[in-house]
Copies of this chain bind each other. A is one copy, B any other.
Amino acid sequence: LTQPPPWGINTNIRLTLPVVCFVWQIAMIILFGVFIRYDEESDTHWVETKAHENITSDIENDFYFRYPSFQDVHVMIFVGFGFLMTFLKRYSFGAVGFNFLIASFGLQWALLMQGWFHSLDPHTGKIYIGVESLINADFCVAGCLIAYGAVLGKVSPVQLLVMTLFGITLFAVEEYIILNLLHARDAGGSMVIHTFGGYYGLAITWVLYRPNLHQSKRMQGSVYHSDAFAMIGTLFLWMFWPSFNSAITDHGDGQHRAAINTYLCLASTVLTTVAISSLSQKTGKLDMVHIQNSTLAGGVALGTAAEFMISPYGALIVGFFCGIISTMGYIFISPFLEKTLKIQDTCGIHNLHAMPGVIGGIVGAITAAAASESVYGKQGLINTFDFTGDFKDRSVLTQGGYQAAGMCVSIVFGVVGGAIVGSILKLPIWGDPADENCFDDEVYWEVREPATHHLLFTIQPLGGAIVFDLVSRDELQSTFERYI
């Protein structure tokens, strides 16, 4: 009988985790008290706003335009990302639980950071929030959850919280540069969410490289039921991605078109993912890793262009290539990254987020540059690219250039930010697991049942056998000692 694994003081987070949670949550309360207020559509003065702005019906409240999309996005963040990461045989608690923790902190910090950069009222010094703020906060959190995928199973919850604190901060800055300064469009976040989040996570895991990770090889990979759980995550992400890409686009045709484009693009991705996955095996068998992940690449890649007039067949084409490229990423690029570049990417976020995000940025730049009044209509073009105010004379070609510039910004923020944050996370104070204990929930969770079952037999002189029920490790130990 093997001894229980010798993890000890180093993964003890009994001091750090509660302190971080308490202090940061109290800081949130204070900062919210100073800065955050209801906006005019969620304040009881809405009745006066309505009268003042000649709004005839409560249904004009932005709540009714965006709340269904918000709830879909919310499900993607907590169930989608959470369960997608449960594929490991013994890391479901960490996948769902830590995802839950960092998203809950992150959305609060995001409301502040995004508020300061995007909607701080210069007169009152307050940030006014409504349903669109909640969606943006969830979006912001998505960037950090993507990064979590790269380090899944190899870090402590305290490290994850630190990673989230800096991740949200960097996100708000790059988002401000891309959307406000460069005036690039990125409603579904191919650049600001996926490209940034992907490279942020990859840079962190590169800094945190573990040469002896093979010592926990027994815990890597999936078991049958964990793959089924992961499909819950995959499907809720896949189904609700049209809501994700349309959640903050323009009222009316903007939301409508973004949903249609994403729906079509994702359908196309599924077919090419299946094709490549089947091609990759001698007998054409499918691999759940590909089905769970690459089927989603189309949604990532349409994040920028979903609201554009990319046209239905254009959406299908994007999905077509994303399914191929992402699946090939899992087959060829991930092993290369691990062996050659020393990037250990647990969930393959390079193939699901970083690379499709870059594709999305390029698609967005090209389709923006190719936009024309004949397709969009005069007012449609203005509305779609928000060619108003300082930007009313911008040409579509210039817009295409700024879209491409935006993509570079998101990559730079991801790589540089991730490298710096990775160095901070390398300090030996965060309680991360030893190489041989990675990917194991027993490090940070009370697991009532051991990872493997044991069965004890005592052999009777006459060749009979006594059968015991499957027992836990502790019960086994004591029975063992009693009988043998």
Contacts and interface: CB of A to CB of B under 8 A. Distances in A.
Interface in A1-22: 1, 11-18, 21-22
A60 B63 contact: no
Contacts of A470: 452-453
Interface stretch (A166-174, A282-290, A344-352, A361-369): A282-290
A151 interface: no
Contacts of A139: none
A228 B86 contact: yes
A75 B309 contact: no
A216 interface: no
Interface stretch (A193-201, A335-343, A440-448): A440-448
Copy tally for this chain in the complex stands at: 3
A71 B74 contact: no
A278 B238 contact: no
A45 interface: yes
Contacts of A252: 41, 46-47, 50, 58, 61, 63
A181 interface: no
B131 A283 contact: no
B446 A275 contact: no
Contact of A449 (B75, B93, B223): B223
A481 interface: no
Most chain B CB neighbours (cut-off 10 Å) among A312, A446, A461 = A312
25 contacts: A21-B274, A21-B278, A38-B312, A41-B253, A44-B375, A45-B380, A48-B380, A61-B256, A78-B235, A79-B235, A79-B236, A86-B228, A93-B227, A93-B228, A100-B291, A104-B268, A107-B267, A129-B260, A130-B260, A134-B263, A223-B448, A224-B449, A287-B445, A455-B467, A465-B484
